[in-house]
Amino acid sequence: MGWFDGTSFLSVDFSIPSEKPLRGHRRKAQYPKACIPGSPGATPRKACATNQIDQTVAMIKRAVKHGIRVRYVLADSGFSSQGFIQAVRQIRPQAMHGVCGVRKDQRKYEYQGVAVDAKTLLTQ
């Protein structure tokens, strides 16, 4: 996550998402070591276990808490869910907006009270 003012970009925070757990006997090979709760490695490992949307919302909250003034959150189409946009709007109501890409598939997006797909949305 970074801060951009139109000219400069500053890295503010980051997260490392984990891979999806394997099933069956392959899962043991994926995570060979046990992690001791309370150890220095336990905190990042716990963060990896949460999904990317929750990690991103937590990063935005940390940035706002530390005094970074945010008006827009720009994200790719992987974050274009109603839950993510609502979470962004609740951090600073009426002061922060979510801007996300849309996927060109059969999903419906609400535009001026009407449910439309991405193709129709791009033509309007």
Residue 108 lies in a domain: yes
Contacts of 11 (CB under 8 A, 6+ apart): 1, 2
Residue 1 lies in a domain: no
Residue 2 lies in a domain: no
- Token readout for 42 is 């336990």
Residue 86 lies in a domain: yes
Structural domains of the chain, count: 1
pLDDT at residue 85 is higher than 70: yes
Residue 99 pairs with which residues in a beta bridge?
Answer: 74
Rounded CA separation 45/38 (Å):
11
Residue 3 lies in a domain: no
Number of H helices, E strands in the chain: 5, 6
Place of tokens 């890409």: 101
pLDDT of residue 19: 67
Residue 73 pairs with which residues in a beta bridge?
Answer: 98
pLDDT of residue 65: 92
pLDDT of residue 7: 92
Place of tokens 């500053």: 10
Residue 6 lies in a domain: no
Residue 21 belongs to what domain range? 11-123
Q: What is the pLDDT of residues 34-77, one digit of tens each?
A: 777 888 777 777 777 778 888 889 899 999 999 988 888 999 88
Q: What is the pLDDT of residues 14-41, one digit of tens each?
A: 877 776 666 777 766 666 667 778 887 7
- The distance of Cα 112 from the centroid of its chain, to the nearest Å, equals 25
